[in-house]
Chains A and B, each alone.
Chain A
Amino acid sequence: MKAVVWHGTNDVRVERVPDPAILNPRDAIIRVTTTAICGSDLHLLDGFIPTMQAGDILGHEFMGEVVDVGSANHELAVGDRVVVPFTIACGRCFFCERELWSLCDNSNPNAWMAEQLYGFSGSGLFGYSHMMGGYAGGQAQYVRVPFADVGPIRIPDGLSDEQVLFLSDIFPTGYMAAENCNIHPGDTVAVWGCGPVGQFAIKSAFLLGAGRVIAVDNVPERLRMAEAASGAETLNFDEDDVFERLKAMTGGLGPDACIDAVGLEAHGATFDAYVDAAKAAAFLATDRPNALRQAIHACRKGGVVSIPGVYGGLLDKIPFGAAFAKGLTFKMGQTHVMKYMPLLLGLIEAGAVDPSFVITHRLPLDAAAEAYQTFRDRKDECIKVVLKPNGETVH
């Protein structure tokens, strides 16, 4: 089969690899009809995530048709059309029973690696480094899905791939980011980063009752999308003093909640951002938490900072004094995708949300290498790329 393979920093190629096979009784094999490149895949392209190995197959947003099931998988049948969550979870451990799916105890065969770095390990993830399990990802024609009797969700007829694909990651991720804000009717939520996760965080904040959402970015087409698709107000950090503007826009109070949908590769225009970039380039720091600093600084007293953006290592010069002085609440982590899939599928079926609004590029799998560059460099007004590994499929 063909698959997108990581060979090193800035080196992603489409090549022929062996087909996957059932390895465990609860597995399933999926023929991938649609997959996407996630903003977090760019952290892999840029070499920010440790324990990647040349030859790793990428991709954690994918859906398709079941073509084989393991002997203990009694939930799925050949021919089922499913969306697969990017987090791999057993469904039976302490954490899964509490719906903390992305913290599953039993899905990461390399848990000891993550334990060295983090003390404890989260769940296995598709195509996201050996520390996170080393699972082959879904930017491929076929993919093996472990614990496929609890993860994938069956898709009813009448919904297109593009409408439901983002149930795999970015829609639940944006939704959980908004839910973590503990929104009360009429609250103001500020969102840093108007990439796909930011777009879904904005939409979800309104769904959960926010009165206003203020989107912060410096990419004009992304700010335009936030305004057009969800009705957000916008701030361009290249033009505006974000803190002063947020304060002015909220009657001097500050936003009730701030969402950092940027993560470890923030590109800011402030002095600290340049220091971070220099340090990261010299391997003196692993993460560039510029957006997080702004979010903490701008949040109102007693507010919530919600962090769907991915961080990997040690963060430098976090204004913890400000967080403490203002009594902030922090919520973060990988998304408990399975918890949100049925609810969000219901919203899509009811016509309340059509997630396909974020798609700007539709390409065959063969174009993946260039697509990674286009997305990373924000060329051609690229916001979200979907790939078709097996050609067009009509539903």
Chain B
Amino acid sequence: MNSTVNVAGVERWASALGGAALTAYGIRQLRDRSVPGAVMAAVGTALIYRGATGHCAVYATAGISTADGRDETKQALGGARGVHVEQVFTINRPADELYAFWRNFELLPLFMDHLVEVRRLDDCRSHWVARAPAGRTVEWDAEIINEIPGELIGWRTLDGADVVSAGSVRFRTAPWGRGTEVRVRLQYEPPAGKVGAAVAWLLGHEPSQTIQEDMRRFKALMEAGETPTTEGQPRGGRR
């Protein structure tokens, strides 16, 4: 992430929303040529910028940072920071088999729609390329930080990632022969901060839904051997 990020979390969010309200109110006052209106609009615009970029000129001048200002994964995602996503699916296959498939990261694009490619660098490190809005891609290197064969894989991104993230997938044999509970936890700092996530959510690309659909495809692939689709089937002319 940008090292000039010095506003984080709720404060950044509040900046953007409060800024938008102030700007709107200020612009309305401007029609009456009011000086307070113009000031309000200007301050509001600055707050939107602060929210969107995570950078506050006032804080920078004063030497204040509420965001730690480091791009290391641990700091960017420490405590309650970042977006947290958790999903669980029960899959009607043995834990070993599911673990083995997932551990081969190069196969993940088969069911993770937003991934373009995962390349293995060595046994612990891999390079990831994902689709981003507006036809762009984001890339990062990741390393395995925790692993229990057949049970758990934990990973995090390495310094310099476009998307700072950490996550784990846990495979637990369900009772009474019901297969395996697969629980994915993901924590990330999106490209445009939490405002970006909020906007993405408003547009219908909520991360927990993305993970849910990825896991649904994983389940279908593992159980049925293929993921259901209607893409490419015939349809009639639209009005």
Contacts and interface: CB of A to CB of B under 8 A. Distances in A.
Interface of A: 1, 3, 5-8, 13, 15, 17-21, 23-26, 54-57, 72, 88, 90-94, 97, 105-109, 111-112, 124, 133-136, 140, 144, 146-147
A64 to B, nearest CB: 16
Contacts of B220: 90, 105-106
Contacts of A72: 225-226
Given A94-B179, A106-B220, A112-B213, A57 B236 contact: yes
Contacts, number: 101
Nearest to B89: A105
B224 A106 contact: yes
Contact of B236 (A15, A20, A144): A15
B183 interface: no
Contacts of A19: 234
Nearest to B236: A5
A134 B226 CA distance: 17
B228 A55 contact: no
A25 B226 CA distance: 7
A136 B234 contact: yes
A8 B234 contact: no
* A-B complex: 7 closest residue pairs judged by Cβ atoms: A5-B236, A90-B224, A106-B220, A55-B235, A55-B236, A18-B234, A109-B228
A54 B61 CA distance: 58
A17 B219 CA distance: 33
Given A94-B178, A105-B223, A20 B228 contact: no
Given A112-B209, A112-B213, A146-B228, A94 B90 contact: yes
A54 B239 CA distance: 7
Given A93-B223, A94-B90, 14 more contacts: A18-B234, A20-B233, A23-B232, A23-B233, A54-B236, A55-B235, A55-B236, A55-B237, A55-B238, A57-B235, A107-B224, A112-B213, A144-B233, A147-B224
A8 B239 CA distance: 9
Contacts of B65: none
Contact of B237 (A15, A134, A146): A15
Contact of A92 (B212, B216, B224, B238): B224
B32 interface: no
Interface of B: 90, 92, 178-179, 209, 212-213, 216, 219-220, 223-239
Contacts of A23: 229-233
Contacts of A17: 234-237
20 contacts: A13-B236, A15-B236, A15-B237, A17-B235, A18-B234, A19-B234, A20-B233, A24-B228, A26-B226, A55-B236, A55-B238, A56-B236, A72-B226, A94-B178, A106-B219, A106-B224, A107-B228, A108-B228, A112-B216, A124-B228
A109 B224 contact: no
B233 A111 contact: no
A85 to B, nearest CB: 16
A111 B220 CA distance: 12
Contacts of B225: 25-26, 72, 92
Contacts of B92: 92-94, 97
A168 to B, nearest CB: 19
Contact of B223 (A55, A56, A92): A92
Contacts of A147: 224
A71 to B, nearest CB: 10
Contact of A3 (B90, B179, B219, B236): B236
A5 B235 CA distance: 8
A112 B225 CA distance: 20
A91 B92 CA distance: 11
A88 B224 CA distance: 12
A140 B226 CA distance: 25
Nearest to A90: B224
B230 A133 contact: yes
Contacts of B229: 23-24, 109
A22 to B, nearest CB: 10
A106 B223 contact: yes
A141 to B, nearest CB: 10
A135 B230 contact: yes
A27 to B, nearest CB: 9
Contacts of B223: 90, 92-93, 105-106
Contacts of A135: 230, 233
Nearest to A24: B226
A93 B91 CA distance: 8
Contacts of A24: 226-229
Contacts of A105: 219-220, 223
B155 to A, nearest CB: 26
Nearest to A72: B225
A140 B233 CA distance: 13
Nearest to B213: A112
Contacts of A3: 234, 236
B139 to A, nearest CB: 28
A216 B235 CA distance: 39
A106 B229 CA distance: 10
B181 to A, nearest CB: 12
A90 to B, nearest CB: 4
Contacts of B231: 23
B179 A20 contact: no
Of the listed residues A1, A8, A111, the one surrounded by the most CB atoms of chain B closer than 10 A to its CB is: A111
